[in-house]
Amino acid sequence: MASSPPKNTLNSQQPSSITRPPQAVKFGRRTSSGRTLSLSRDYDMDVHGDYSSGQNDYIDYTVLMPPTPDNQPAGSSSSASTSQSKPNANQGSKTGNKMERRLSVMKSNNKSMLLRTQTGDFDHNRWLFESKGKYGIGNAFWPDDIDNGEGGVSMSDFLDKPWKPLTRKVKVPAQVLSPYRLLIVLRLVILFFFLWWRVTNPNEDAMWLWGLSIVCEIWFAFSWILDILPKLNPINRAADLDTLRDKFEQPSPSNPSGRSDLPGVDVFVSTADPEKEPPLVTANTLLSILAVDYPIEKLSAYISDDGGAILTFEAMAEAVRFADYWVPFCRKHDIEPRNPDSYFSIKKDPTKNKKKPDFVKDRRWIKREYDEFKVRINGLPEQIKKRAEQFNLREELKEKRIAKEKNGGVLPPDGVEVVKATWMADGTHWPGTWFEPKPDHKKGDHAGILQIMSKVPELEPVMGGPNEGALDFTGIDIRIPMFAYVSREKRPGFDHNKKAGAMNGMVRASAILSNGAFILNLDCDHYVYNSKAIKEGMCYMMDRGGDRICYIQFPQRFEGIDPSDRYANHNTVFFDGNMRALDGLQGPVYVGTGCMFRRYALYGFNPPRANEYNGVFGQEKAPAMHVRTQSQASQISETSDLESDTQPLTDDPDLGLPKKFGNSTIFTDTIPVAEYQGRPLADHMSIQNGRPPGALLLPRPPLDAPTVAEAIAVISCWYEDNTEWGDRVGWIYGSVTEDVVTGYRMHNRGWRSVYCITKRDAFRGTAPINLTDRLHQVLRWATGSVEIFFSKNNAMFATRRLKFLQRVAYLNVGIYPFTSIFLVVYCFLPAMCLFSGKFIVQSLDVHFLSYLLCISLTLILISLLEVKWSGIGLEEWWRNEQFWLIGGSSAHLAAVVQGLLKVIAGIEISFTLTSKASGEDEDDMFADLYIVKWTGLFIMPLTIIVVNLVAIVIGASRTIYSVIPQWNKLFGGIFFSMWVLTHMYPFCKGLMGRRGKVPTIVYVWSGLVSITVSLLWITISPPDEVSGSGGISV
């Protein structure tokens, strides 16, 4: 070693010179003892070629590096520094002293030894490589022996994950949204100039046509503005389920066991008639809820049977028994969807992405069990009737025996009268409605029923064993959530307020039994398609600012719709367009199902923070005054009243504090608990009105008899007397569309809502594909909108807490049915033009055609961009346009008439329940599509079609045989008539049925309309040449 030339290592330094070439640096490392080793000697390499000398040689890899101070970390560029820091292999005995000196340098306050001689700056490179802090300081490596001062920082302080939000907004790309807004402004300008030109250029030859068309066009422009303005700010949202799990379901100092800290959720399912809403459909919905991916001890399910039918009761009991196997099976194999009927109907390979070897065996067994379950459900009606007959026969024989004993062994001459009751399996009378209606046991007159069919689950997981009904559930939690059957009391003389009253009864009962901070309501035919949907919704409620959110609305998705979606049943333009745009304002409207509410907001309280929007267009934003804090709002009692200084006389009545919840003190005590549990987690300084972590880890108390008795008492028909239920608290009464009104009242208090579109559909349901059923459904919605327009819930009377564009959206909800009046008139205008030979303008000049072209082009471009940012298809958009005209000329017009009759004459409106049952033809799932069920709603669309067809024939004949044919007016009339007929094409297909045969009534009606219209037109406008008595030609 002494005779060999010295080897330069990474720590070796040579004086730098500008004229010298870059020196060679050999890679090496210094051990803890101070000895320098070359990295080239760490491995034995077999070198061949010119460098081979017949044995294994060790060679050094050399790298050329410029001699700058930055790449010479062991010292500065000066020779003094170099000589001071240059190591030698023979100085191994002095290594310990050198290391101590280095550490003493780092620990001393004198930084002069670490200053670069050239610049006088602190030499970070020397500190890094000549101390044990070889990687510096940071969250990748932090030396244990560094003097941290008073902070006491260590590597463990960097192991905690940084705070992350649970949700984020995803804005629509500017290259789509900016042209969209620009085109809207451009079309508004064009519409203004077009209408101004139309008003200032009347048609002197046909003033009546000109006047009708002007009125209709002005209204259409106004209606379009109401529809398009709320769409100016569409947004998308995304939730982070991983962050939710890290915050609420992982071990932490406040939650050492890692038990879920999420709030409770109560799921409501409403049904009313087992004949129109089959119990098998409701049972499958219940099974999908019980198997949802949410903490079992935090989830509760409730079924509201407003008909009090024993068939629904028995079906739910069967469903709970089947859930003991279905729910653990779903957890074990991660099944999606968790509705068994939908799962077993999937056409794709069921074994895809299933890793457990016993999946096929388990699936085969559970499929067999489900088939038997369906047989039992479908056989319940007959079984219950046979049971009732047997028990009634037994009671009849018993009464006859008693009568004989009293009458000396002979039956009385009048016989024995026995009530034909409906019996339960345990031999007791069913307290609800009977097959043969009797007093206290018929629709609208029966006792309240509350049955807890699945008890409150234990706090700790209950693991299954290897032989759980032929299934191996080892390591699988076999608990199922609590489930209760509820049927509120009904008595004659009480207004039970339809579905809204049933929902409010469940709100009170669930508050006493489980008191979940959030409520998810579903229709009986809407099942959970995404088992993580509740968690995704919870991300928004538990995120920063989530305490201001009153509900999370999920889009409605439907199954069983015909592939062409003839009647726009998917309604994607509304759910993916309008609702997504409202999410950029104050939030989407409540649409009746698939909505997760904050229980505290349902009770009518104000949000913890709200804003007021002043000015003509709400451009002046300011914090709302007189907003009660949560602590103030929670201190409620039935006798409490507001002080004059906290409730000024100028306040809107909708902004007061709810006071009258009924006479149940147990219920009122649950209100502040629900408010506290619904607060977001206070894990960041930006979280306002939060709760500490680990506050929801305590188990729920077990249910006892007094608690259940109190829950039964709050669903009695008299409980809501002299209370604010239905007026301010809970679902709002007074409209057939109670959902829209309930959401509006929350927004009016300053609450916000969120539209949650999940990657996998959250819920799926069914929709009527028959034309008659579809029109009746639209009729009910439109009638509710008319009621809203003529009530105090009209958006024109809203508070200043409602944003301007949100107010416009709610105003459109109440106004859109009235468009049908102008739409029907405009559909007849082309026929009138063809009949009269006139047109809505003097002539088809350049001005009219230019305006028409610009308006049409801007509308097409706006629609294309709307399709782009909403994600809907062009065919879906076109189907929506077609059904807008079909529904507008039939159901909307009838809704206006019915609404006016109710407002003016007080005539109540009753609607039949939309059937959820499938068609009788099991081989064709779209059999209902071709069924023709005549209704009065067909009259107006059919009249429009016939009149336009007759007008085309008459107009063409007149022009062809005219001395001076006016082809431009003919083509103008035919063009608009064809526009009407093209939109009516789905209606015509619906009338023709499966084989394309037109019903006889259509021919009869067409003939009557044609003859009537022809005679009427001849009377109003006789031919140009009429021979008078004097032979004078006119």
Per-residue pLDDT tens digits for 759-788? 999 999 998 888 999 999 999 999 999 999
Average pLDDT value for residue range 109-118: 50
Q: How far is 78 from 302, CA to CA, in rounded Å?
A: 83
C-alpha pair distances (Å), 341 with each of 152, 283, 299, 660: 60, 10, 23, 44
Tell me, what's the pLDDT at 919? 52
> Mean pLDDT lowest for which of 416-420, 800-804, 816-820, 927-931?
927-931
- pLDDT tens figures, 63-80: 445 555 544 544 444 444
Average pLDDT value for residue range 843-869: 91
Contact 490, 496 (CB under 8 A): yes
The DSSP 8-state label assigned to residue 681 in this structure reads B
Average pLDDT value for residue range 5-16: 42
pLDDT band at 998 (very low <50, low <70, confident <90, very high): low
Match 């929007």 to its residue by tokens. Answer: 613
- Among the listed residues 773, 915, 711, the one whose alpha carbon sits nearest the alpha carbon of residue 272: 915
C-alpha pair distances (Å), 826 with each of 101, 151, 220, 829: 97, 78, 10, 5
Whether 286 has a pLDDT exceeding 90, the answer reads: yes
What pTM was computed for the model?
A: 0.81
Average pLDDT value for residue range 235-239: 94
Tell me, what's the pLDDT at 147? 56
Q: Mean of the per-residue pLDDT values for the chain?
A: 81
- Among the listed residues 784, 780, 793, 805, the one whose alpha carbon sits nearest the alpha carbon of residue 744: 793
Helix/strand/coil for 908: coil
pLDDT band at 356 (very low <50, low <70, confident <90, very high): confident
Q: At what angle do helices 359-378 and 310-333 cross, to 10 degrees?
A: 180
- Among the listed residues 263, 347, 753, 311, the one whose alpha carbon sits nearest the alpha carbon of residue 535: 263
Contacts of residue 774, defined as CB under 8 A and 6 or more positions apart, other chains included, come to 567, 569, 767, 768
Average pLDDT value for residue range 777-805: 92
Match 């997981």 to its residue by tokens. Answer: 461
Q: How many helices (H) and strands (E) does the chain have?
A: 30, 21
Tell me, what's the pLDDT at 629? 45
Tell me, what's the pLDDT at 175? 94
Higher-confidence residue: 460 or 62?
A: 460
Strand order in the sheet with 527-528: 527-528, 763-766, 557-559
Q: How far is 874 from 863, CA to CA, in rounded Å?
A: 9
Whether 1027 has a pLDDT exceeding 50, the answer reads: no
- pLDDT tens figures, 162-212: 788 999 999 899 999 999 999 999 999 999 999 999 999 998 888 999 999
Q: How far is 502 from 549, CA to CA, in rounded Å?
A: 24
Residue 739 known to be catalytic = yes
Q: Which residues pair with 29 in a beta bridge?
A: 37
- Among the listed residues 608, 637, 638, the one whose alpha carbon sits nearest the alpha carbon of residue 624: 608
SS (H, E, C) 292-353: CCCCHHHEEEEEEECCCCHHHHHHHHHHHHHHHHHHHHHHHHCCCCCCHHHHHCCCCCCCCC
- Of the residues 739, 761, 773, 928, only one is catalytic, namely 739
Contacts of residue 607, defined as CB under 8 A and 6 or more positions apart, other chains included, come to 547, 548, 550, 601, 627, 749, 750, 751, 752
Sign of CA dihedral 848, 851, 857, 863: negative
Contact 89, 36 (CB under 8 A): yes
Tell me, what's the pLDDT at 541? 95
Helix/strand/coil for 1027: strand
Tell me, what's the pLDDT at 206? 86
User: How does 922-935 read in b/e, with b if 16+ C-beta sit within 10 Å?
Assistant: eeeebbbbbbbeeb
- pLDDT tens figures, 692-739: 998 899 888 888 999 999 999 999 999 999 999 999 999 999 888 899
Pair of tokens at residue 307: 């008909």
Contacts of residue 340, defined as CB under 8 A and 6 or more positions apart, other chains included, come to 284, 287, 326, 366, 370, 373
Tell me, what's the pLDDT at 841? 85
Whether 907 has a pLDDT exceeding 80, the answer reads: no
Contact 331, 476 (CB under 8 A): yes
CA geometry: angle at 844 spanning 840 and 850, to 5°? Answer: 105
pLDDT band at 468 (very low <50, low <70, confident <90, very high): low
User: How does 217-255 read in b/e, with b if 16+ C-beta sit within 10 Å?
Assistant: bebbbebbebbbbbbeebbbbebbeebbeebbbeebeeb
Contact 288, 438 (CB under 8 A): no
**β-pair type (752-755, 763-766):** unpaired
Q: How far is 184 from 174, CA to CA, in rounded Å?
A: 15
Contacts of residue 933, defined as CB under 8 A and 6 or more positions apart, other chains included, come to 770, 771, 772, 773
- Of the residues 266, 293, 305, 306, only one is catalytic, namely 306
Tell me, what's the pLDDT at 355? 79
Maximum C-alpha span of the chain: 148
Q: How far is 285 from 663, CA to CA, in rounded Å?
A: 34
CA geometry: angle at 824 spanning 822 and 829, to 5°? Answer: 90
Nearest 5°: phi and psi at 543?
-85, 175
> Mean pLDDT lowest for which of 327-336, 693-702, 797-806?
693-702
Q: How far is 416 from 303, CA to CA, in rounded Å?
A: 39
Contact 745, 505 (CB under 8 A): no
pLDDT band at 954 (very low <50, low <70, confident <90, very high): confident
Sign of CA dihedral 488, 489, 490, 494: negative
Distance from the Cα of residue 236 to its chain's centroid: 12
Match 């070796």 to its residue by tokens. Answer: 12
Distance from the Cα of residue 306 to its chain's centroid: 25
The DSSP 8-state label assigned to residue 596 in this structure reads E
Burial of 562 (0-12, 13-18, 19+ CB in 10 A): middle
DSSP H helical ranges for 334-434: 340-344, 359-378, 380-406
Residue 680 CB coordination number (10 Å) = 23
Highest mean pLDDT among 376-380, 460-464, 736-740: 376-380
- Among the listed residues 825, 853, 858, the one whose alpha carbon sits nearest the alpha carbon of residue 840: 825
Contact 458, 297 (CB under 8 A): yes
Q: Is the peptide bond before 337 cis (omega within 30 degrees of 0)?
A: yes
The DSSP 8-state label assigned to residue 70 in this structure reads G
- What are the DSSP calls for 764-831, one per residue? EEE---SHHHHHHHHHHHHHHHHHHHTSTT-GGG--TTS-HHHHHHHHHHHHGGGHHHHHHHHHHHHH
Sign of CA dihedral 244, 248, 254, 256: negative
Contact 486, 302 (CB under 8 A): yes
Pair of tokens at residue 282: 């409701």
pLDDT band at 84 (very low <50, low <70, confident <90, very high): very low
CA geometry: angle at 568 spanning 873 and 829, to 5°? Answer: 105
Average pLDDT value for residue range 235-243: 94
**Cα radius of gyration rounded to whole Å, the chain:** 39
Highest mean pLDDT among 88-97, 275-284, 647-656: 275-284
- pLDDT tens figures, 615-650: 888 888 888 875 554 444 444 433 344 333 333 333
Whether 266 has a pLDDT exceeding 90, the answer reads: yes
